[in-house]
Amino acid sequence: MGAMRTLAAIGAALALIVVVAALDAAPASQPRFPRVYRDLGIALLDEWVTDTDLSADGTRLAYARRDPRDWYLDVWTTRPSGREKTCMTCQLPAPTKHRGAPVWHPDGEWLFFSAENDDVRTRKADRMAEPATAFNTNLWAVAVGGTRAFPLTTFATDYKDPRAVLAPIVAPDGKQIAWTGPIDADPAENLAEKPVKPDQEGEETSVKGYEWGRWAIYLADLEFADSTPSLRNIRVLAPAPQDGFYQVDDWSPDGRRLLLTASPARGGGLEGLDIYEYDLVAGRLRPLTQTADWDHHAHYSADGRHIVWSSSRDLNVKFRSVEGLNWRRDIRTELWIMNRDGSEPRRLTFFNQRGHRDYAWFRSRVFRTPRVFVSDNACLLDGTRVAAVLGYEASAGQLGGVLAVLDLNRAAAAKTGDGG
């Protein structure tokens, strides 16, 4: 590891004490990963995970995993069985800090990822550079088995008005790559309505719907010359009526449409994120969820007929604030599935619902936590399973996460008392 990661290890020591205690609290009889629970249709593949992606041939998962020595993220790969784990970035000379949000090129020979700038200095800025926020990051690429990573963007570190590479995705033909990022960290001066208002503690808060500034979608042509990737013709898209946030979650198999997490209708706050499908050819945006709930991380099923996503619906989540990282204090979500047109939504998991086996299982086999949030996911090609990151609140406000494979046909968990 580079000197920066070594120094950062000192700053992360107290947090790691909490994490190690959590690990020690796990039942001693549990094997190391993978751990399979057939009666629940769950297999756990790894821990301290934040996001994941499936290779085009369906044989490998890429995911970001925290290094327990310094708490920075690295990109790993594994089989959907949880076997053959390999760290793809641990030995890279650069970049040296967070390396997450991995996405496969369709040829299976390259991985693209979002990486924190090496000149970011503070622990707070480190947290804001993690994949869920990605401030002061750039897009990088590494060949599978390679010893050098290639920077594809060159956004300078800026604490006041940061740029970001959030959740990159590659087109099915491998010729384009998309990501999202802020274009104006403080858009208040550009809005017609009153820019700020005091909250209950007397602090200023942003205009509703622009708690994270203004965001846009970046779309670029991806080229390779002499085994070196590069970007050409970068375009900036902002198709929603309110541009307070975008995340590109998935690309349709025909390459024509993007699945987006984006701001709700004009005037709505970011606690009500919705799922949209954007037709790149027609320039048309279609809402798939229009609720007051937090809807995020949408992905097409292998046959393209369904969409699996994360949602807070039915959980009565009340966000005290979504400013900065405050949303992490209250987030609770489950995994849902719907038809591609948004009809017939059905809940798949019950990790936050007392009285269900999912609730009891998570707290006895993963961590005794007050809340779980299902985040990034990827539908496996067999059409019956989905890989998902199950995030949770650990001790002292730390967040953990396990990579799991869930059976899409799993029956609703049976009630077994309060499961607490």
**Both structure tokens of 216:** 């846009």
Each of the 420 residues of the chain gets a pLDDT tens digit; together they read 444 454 444 444 434 434 444 443 444 445 689 999 999 999 999 999 999 999 999 999 999 999 988 899 999 999 999 999 999 999 999 999 999 999 999 999 999 999 999 999 999 999 999 999 999 999 999 999 999 999 999 999 999 999 999 999 999 999 999 999 999 766 544 443 333 344 444 344 568 889 999 999 999 999 999 999 999 999 999 999 899 999 999 999 999 999 999 998 888 899 999 999 999 999 999 999 999 999 999 999 999 999 999 999 999 999 999 998 899 999 999 999 999 999 999 999 999 999 999 999 999 999 999 999 999 999 999 999 999 999 999 987 789 999 999 999 875 545 554 433
How far is 101 from 111, CA to CA, in rounded Å?
A: 10
Structure tokens at 63: 């995911």
* DSSP structure class, residue 187: G
User: 257: which DSSP letter?
Assistant: E
What is d(CA 169, CA 163) in angstroms, rounded to the nearest whole number?
A: 17
Gyration radius of the chain's alpha carbons: 20
Q: Tokens standing for 283?
A: 């320039």
Q: Supply the pTM of this predicted model.
A: 0.89
| Backbone angles phi and psi of 41, in degrees to 5 | 70, 40
Architecture of domain 3-407: 6 Propeller (2.120)
